[in-house]
Structure 1
Amino acid sequence: MVFSSSADEKLIKLTVVTQGSENLISAAWDKRSFQSWILDWFTENISVEHLGSSSALELATMLYGHSRISMFVMPVSNTNYRHDVTMAEQAGMFRVHQTVGSVLCCKCGIPMQPNAANMCVNCLRSEEDITEGLQKHVIIMHCPECKCYLQPPKTWIKAELESKELLQFCLKRLKFMSKVRLVHAEFVWTEPHSKRLKIKLRVQKEVHGAILEQAYVVEYVVQDYMCTSCSRIQANPDQWVACVQLRQHVSHRRTFFYLEQLILTHDAASRAINIKQVNQGIDFFFGNRSHAVKFVEFVGKVAPIDHRHDKQLVSHDPKSNDYNYKHTFSVEICPICREDLICLPPKVALSLGNLGPLVICTKVSNSITLLDPFTLRHCSLDAVQYWRTCFKPLLSSRQLVEYIVLDVETSNIEVNAGGSKYVLADVEVARVSDFGKNDQIFRIRTHLGHLLSPGDFALGYDLYAANTNDIDLDKHRGLVLPEAVLIKKSYEKKRQRKHKKNRPWKLKSLNMEIDNTTKGRVDEQKMNSEYERFLRDLEENPELRFNISLYHNRDYQPSEMASVTDGGDIPSVPLEELLADLDLSDEDMEDAEK
């Protein structure tokens, strides 16, 4: 068949060759009339063999869309026809749409598209088992002491029952899972004491062009097997591999009280075999060196520390070339604490932009935040910078003196340092101990203008009567010391009027062994008073309790007299910051059942 049109697209010449005869049809039609005519003519005169898999509608549409096309349709062989069709498709002339036939399933006889098995999806599902060859029974090792599971060859993973970690561990223990595609996995409830874990899996697999999905249950048999560290503890509880010795050479233990709460909040000492409280520090014993290294890294993130590592040879096997060591990590915490008064060395003050030299430490984390109370300039000093010079505080919190505020003149200068707001002010103060003895009044500048009012009490350092012997202070020639430096507002007088002794909140503590030897003995009365001061600091400073966990006190009973006499000026911990003290002991479970 040869089709051509004139330039004005009015005269259409069509030559059709069928079975060797030639018919010439020439007429002047418009495109719409010609399309309607050629559809009828193709239907009556052209057989399917001439058209192949192309319909008359496709040929007519193609003739209608081009102005000059020559197309030949004639009986050809199947191979040549496929080649011509492929060439035509690549040239963009037309697209072949093949109609897929249907066959009957050899099992149930329903119509279906043909596949290699000649079976429908339902019959394939009944005949094929895609879970064949997959594991359905697995044995896992569990340490009854530390509740860990053995990940071969030597790794122990801690996971609770029906947790995400345990599900991930169980799935990793399955072999030949690459043959199928895992769609879903969930635990099936089993008795906790049955030593059995069941997981329901849903997998998919392609079989003869069809995707089959099937669910099955894998049973895990839990066998008790004590890990190396627990077996060592059972054999000898005092046998440790690594020891971390935390020390801070100061006259109080407030840093260790706060560090203890951080350790509990982040569960940093969960791998410790034993914890011992000694003078000026705490010792942590671990059954593995890696656990001690991880603990030292944690302490370095919350406090500026300097540490060293030593090891001692315990035993040696020359045949297998095995060495057993005991490792000791000596960790020294920076002696600078919050609320300390510091005289910066000249080189340090110059490197910090001529800060100070008298500054106050307002915050200690992995860096030290310093504030000049007379100008409100502040900066941060990291652990590397501090241990390069290693200066000590001029006065510490145990030397604070109570003052009464007589007058306050605030200024417009304010700053935010370390997450806290400070306002510069000129105040007139007098020592509480001087009342009735003399009329000595000090006029000083302080950073507590946003907190103090006439009649309030404040704690500060008495530089007027202090006997300071500091080398760095002597290096600053011409430095005039103020009479006093205020540190914080005091609520001691208001607390003395309270009739209640307990608080609506409480803190948890580490299970520590106390060293009762002469060298490591700690004064219990002194320690209790320091702990009480630490609890008051938590009430007064919201930033200090931001990173620790406070719990509801079940033994707390509010007093009516306390609510009358307290007032609203004493800082307290809001109830929304408290956590529920969840205790799943046997006694509580019995009470709940009753």
Structure 2
Amino acid sequence: MSINNDAVLGENDRQVVSYFTPKHTLPQISCHNCGQPMESNGLSLCNECIALTVDVTKDLVKTGSIVFCKNCGRVQVPPNGWMYAERETRELMSVCLRKLKLSDSQAKLVDARFIWTEPHSRRTKIKVTVQGEAAEYNNLIIQQSYEAEFHEHTNQCPDCAKSYTANTWQASVQIRQRVDHKKTFLYLEQLILKNRAHKDTMSIEESREGIDFFYGSKTDAVRMLDFLSTVVPMKYKRSEQFISEDTHTGSKSYKFTYSVEIAPICREDLVVLPKQVAKQHGNMPLLVLCYKVSKSLYFIDPNTLQKTIIPASDYWKRPFNSIANSRKLTEYIVMDIELTGQTEGKFALADITVMRASDLGVSDTTFYLRTHLGAILHDGDSVMGYDLTSANYNDDLWDQLKPEEIPDIILVKKVYPDKPKKSKRRLMRMAKEYNAEADIKQATPGYSQDYEEFLAELEQDEELNEELHFDPEEAENDLAIDVSQLDLDEEDDE
């Protein structure tokens, strides 16, 4: 007689049957070479020992050569390309890895980094990490690293070769400003160097009137015009000259010249605004001071702190000139100063009493006026300003001013006691074919003075120094490269 378990057990007392599936694991053995415990792989060798006996990099290219242009510093990219690739940069790493032809092998690139070498050694070394299969060990994946060395050679790129041949440029940009000093061009030159806006030039010539850039294509010249329009108030005119015509194809060759004119208004210039311009910009006083120049012109009234910005497009509709520049400044001594409490950005309005530095011990003549420099001036400070007590400028707009609209003095900038006479910092130059340091000094009166004043402004003006600060030699000694972002498509060498 059989017993029904379901009948004996109650409905709530039924047992749950669980099933166990055993997991199959590889046996643990010792490597017969080093003795370290390992999972059995049918070879009796651990991965470390296999990596010591197998070289997956034996068929890879480990040496090569890199060609740099001795003039512009660009590196040759086969077959006929040239690109800017400074040392220990992503671009140079891309060129080196193409030379190794890893795509032609079975190895997979994992990592790459530069190894520091002496610059004079003319060697570039990189550490490359790859993965490959060990065919004699059941195609086990092995990861190994090796060093690749490249010998550096110099040559001349086609663009630099053209620069030494007459009548090879196709477009030029001629930059001019009708002022009697070079401070604007010194400022502009540093901006161009910082942004590498001159990298596509075939030649650069500097003269008393300005700077000329020569290009091998019209596109490069237009790119420079776009950059200039973002940093200075400018306008330009284009002209073209017919060079030759191919009678077989009907194609014609032209040379294009872009004449760029920069607004003749500079930082610290004294300006009389036309009445229509002053009215359109918030009824500004006519006699104002220019405190900043970029793609627009920035003006301030020292008596009220009223400011306005005139875009380059508005300026060239009704152009005007400055009546005095920083070469006509007079030094004053602050006798007493009292803040009014009114501020506008970094400017603070103050009532101030000053006297000419030349009158110390000679005369007790003082002047009481208002200034926008209240935030930085104190008793005993030296300050530069325009002396308008007996000024008579040959300008129609100046003649239209009423006597009550002309103050005795307009203060411009503070003279710091620790101002260096000759700064040890030297500006970088970009002219390739013109001896600017020698010839410009002889051709332009006051060039040395402008140069030293501009250096002093960089030392004292934190905003200007930060705007122009750059270090062209800044680089890491051991730079790791994310190889996943590099373009390693192979190109056949010629």
TM-score (structure 2 length as normaliser) = 0.72
2:488 aligns with none
Any idea what the Cα deviations from partners look like across 1:452-506, whole Å, max 9, x if unmatched?
3444443222223111344445667796222221112345xx68xx9x9654544
8 Å Cα contact 1:241/1:286 also seen in 2: yes
Shift of residue 373 of structure 1? 0.8
| Cα pair distance change 1:167/1:441, threshold 3 Å | closer
The residue that corresponds to 1:467 in the other structure is 392
Q: Distance in 1 between matches of 2:403 and 2:436?
A: 48
Pairwise mapping of residues 42-57 of structure 1 onto structure 2 (< 5 A)? Answer: 56-57=17-18
* 1:230 lines up with 2:169 in the alignment: no
Q: Displacement of 1:259 after TM fit? A: 2.4
1:242 equivalent in alignment to 2:171:
yes
Question: Deviation digits for residues 152-180 of structure 1, max 9, x if unmatched?
Answer: 56531122455432222344564747987
Number of the residue aligned with 1:380: 309
Residue 155 (structure 1) aligns with: 81
What does residue 130 of structure 2 align with? 202
* Residue equivalent to 2:227: 298
Mapped pair 1:182 → 2:112 = no
Equivalent position to 2:434, from 505, 513, 519: 513
Deviation at 1:327, TM superposition (A): 3.1
Structure 1 residue runs of 5 or longer lacking an equivalent are: 1-21, 39-55, 60-96, 552-578, 583-594
Alignment counterpart, residue 443 of structure 1, candidates 353, 368, 376? 368
Q: How far 1:397 moved relative to its partner?
A: 1.7
Q: Which position in structure 2 is the counterpart of 1:34?
A: 14
Distance of 2:191 and 2:224 partners within structure 1: 12
Structure 1 residues 432 and 227: CA distance shift in structure 2, 3 A: closer
Selected match of 1:269 from 166, 178, 198: 198
Cα distance in 2 for residues equivalent to 1:137 and 1:315: 49
Q: TM-score, normalised by structure 1?
A: 0.62
Between 338-347 and 282-291, report the one with greater CA deviation: 282-291
* Partner amino acid, structure 1, of 2:110: V
Give, in angstroms, the shift of residue 333 of structure 1. 1.7
Structure-2 residue corresponding to 1:536: 456
**Alignment partners' CA distance in 1, 2:305 and 2:111:** 60
Relative contact order (C-alpha < 8 Å, sep 6+): which is higher? 2
Structure-2 change in CA distance of 1:477 and 1:460 (3 Å): closer
> Which secondary structure state, in structure 2, belongs to the residue aligned with residue 545 of structure 1?
helix
State the Cα distance separating 1:25 from its structure 2 match. 4.1
Is the CA contact 1:427–1:446 (under 8 Å) kept in the aligned structure 2? Answer: yes
Q: Residues 223 and 139 of structure 1: is their aligned pair in 2 closer, same or farther, counting only changes over 3 Å?
A: farther
Mean Cα displacement is larger for which, 435-444 or 329-338? Answer: 435-444
Measured in 2, the distance between the counterparts of 1:405 and 1:373 equals 16
Which of 214, 217, 220 is the equivalent residue of 1:285?
214
**Deviations 1:569-589, CA, capped at 9 Å, x for gaps:** xxxxxxxxxx9999xxxxxxx
| 3-state SS, counterpart of residue 531 of structure 1 | helix
Deviation per residue, 1:87-116 (Å, 9 max, x gap): xxxxxxxxxx7967989xxxx9x99899xx
Please state if 1:394 is matched with 2:355: no
| Match runs of 1:251-400 below 5 Å | 251-320=180-249, 322-400=251-329
Percent identity, aligned pairs only, is 33
Q: Which has the larger radius of gyration?
A: 1
| Structure 2 gap ranges (5+) | 33-37, 476-494
Aligned partner of 2:491 in structure 1 is: none
Asked whether the equivalents of residues 141 and 225 of structure 1 are also in contact (C-alpha less than 8 Å), the reply is no
Show the counterpart of 1:422: 347
One-letter code of the match for 2:109? L
- Letter of the 2:92 counterpart: L
Tell me, yes or no, if the aligned pair for 1:188 and 1:198 is still in contact at 8 Å: yes
Q: What's the offset of the Cα at 1:384?
A: 2.7
Aligned-partner Cα distance in 2 for 1:195–1:454 = 60
Tell me if the contact between 1:408 and 1:428 (Cα under 8 Å) persists in the aligned partners: yes
Displacement of 1:436: 8.2
Task: Give deviations 1:508-542, integer Å, cap 9, x for gaps.
Answer: 444562599x9x99545522222233233333322
Q: Which moved more, 1:446-455 or 1:470-479?
A: 470-479
Tell me the distance in 2 between the aligned counterparts of 1:580 and 1:176: 33
Change (3 A) 1:141 1:323: farther
The question of 1:167 aligning with 2:93 is answered yes
Correspondent of 2:465 among 528, 545, 554: 545
Deviation at 1:337, TM superposition (A): 0.8
- 1:447 and 1:189, CA in 2 relative to 1: closer, same or farther beyond 3 A? closer
Code of the aligned partner of 1:548: L
Contact 1:229 1:288 in 2 (8 A): no
Letter in structure 1 aligned against 2:179 = V
Question: Are residues 102 and 264 of structure 1, via their aligned partners in 2, closer, same or farther at CA, if it must alter by over 3 Å?
Answer: closer
Task: Tell me how large the CA RMSD over aligned residues is.
Answer: 5.0
> 2:160 touches 2:202 (CA, 8 Å); kept in 1?
no
Secondary structure at 1:379 match in 2: strand
User: How far did residue 400 of structure 1 move?
Assistant: 1.9
CA–CA distance in structure 1, aligned partners of residues 291 and 127 of structure 2: 54
In 1, Cα distance between equivalents of 2:421 and 2:353: 34
Aligned length: 458
